[in-house]
Amino acid sequence: MSDTDYDSDVPSTSTGAARGNKLPALQIKNMWASYKVRDKLRTVEQCIAFSEQNGLMLRTKLCTTHRTPMAIYGMGSADLGSFRCRKGPCRTKSSVSRAKGTWFENAKISLPHIFYMMHCYSGHYTQSQVKLENYVEGPCLSSRKITDWYNYCWEEVVYYQLEKEEHGAKIGGPGKIVQIDGSKFGKRKFNKGRRVEGHWVLGMIEDGSEDIRLEECPDNVRSTEVLIPLIQKHVAESTTIRTDFWKAYDCLPSYGYEYQKVNHSDPDNPFVAPDGTHTQRIESQWRVVKRVFQKDNYNNTANFADIIVEFLWRKSIENNRQDPFEKLIEAVKHTYKP
């Protein structure tokens, strides 16, 4: 992923198009998503219909007593309405809000604003962009509301991605090569010298694949006891693993892996071993990943591990040329099943 490709992850207005610049495919995709959100999710009625079609809200609900569809009452300009059965003894029972158990329960902003915030988060808008490009009628969103809804979206993404990683396929396998390297994220103490304060991260990538795996090293420890379980979590047995000379990797053959390493302290060729072993691909990823984290000021956050998870979610969407707004809806539906 080049630096130019990542810049296109943050969509904005169409000034670039007006100047006649050729826009990257991902930015064009985001602009189309923005158009669809503005056109299809501007009113409460449109949002309700969209929610029903996409499984975010029930269209019908059966009465537990009569096993027949309940009627919807009280749906107005700012209310999703409630389900209520009007048969026999059910007439005196309380209605059930359509928002109960959904992504919209207890929301303090309108449905159009909720979908607008979801679009902004998925498109990686800054707070200033959120306020500048807001098309929804009604009170402007405060910085606090924007932060709250970004956090709600972020929590769903992290939970969804972690579940996906836990039950997803591993990289590597017989005949496959996976390069592994560690790198520290943070800043130099007093902005000088070689000492970096921050977080150690283990990176893994299979040759011929864009599927990068990242794991924060707990307590910044890079011992065998820490690194081997992280590798086993992501890399299938019988994989040929390539690393540098860090001692914690030496026991990899004992865990069912083929093992090759390159000595970065070799004065003749610190990059490629005599047998051709190298870790240049995973090492080249660090510059790109660190640029993203530095740009968004993520390097020293307390929830650094979860920030890594969000990054991997966005990276997967980019690699697979998917719509981030649709993938966020998928993540929300993973948690909220009305």
156 burial level (CB within 10 Å; 0-12, 13-18, 19+): buried
Please count the CA atoms within 13 angstroms of the CA of 320 that sit on its side-chain side: 13
Enter the tokens of residue 119: 């679009």
Instruction: Identify the DSSP state of 40.
Output: H
Question: H or E stretch including 216?
Answer: strand 212-216
Can you list the domains of the chain with their CATH numbers? Answer: 58-97 (no CATH), 177-335 (3.30.420.10)
Query: How many Å from the N-terminal Cα to the C-terminal Cα in the chain?
Result: 38
The three-class DSSP label of residue 228 is helix
Please report, in tens digits, the pLDDT of each residue of the chain (338 residues total). 333 333 333 333 333 333 344 556 666 655 567 788 888 999 999 999 999 999 999 988 888 888 888 888 876 555 788 888 888 888 878 888 888 899 999 999 999 999 999 999 999 999 999 998 898 988 889 999 999 999 999 999 999 999 988 888 999 999 999 999 999 987 654 444 444 568 899 999 999 999 999 999 998 999 999 999 999 999 999 999 999 999 999 999 999 999 999 998 888 888 888 899 999 999 999 988 888 887 766 655 678 889 999 999 999 999 888 999 999 999 999 999 87
106: left (phi over 0), alpha (psi -120 to 50) or beta: left
pTM: 0.78
CB atoms within 10 A of CB 316: 16
**CA pair distance 203, 185, nearest whole angstrom:** 12
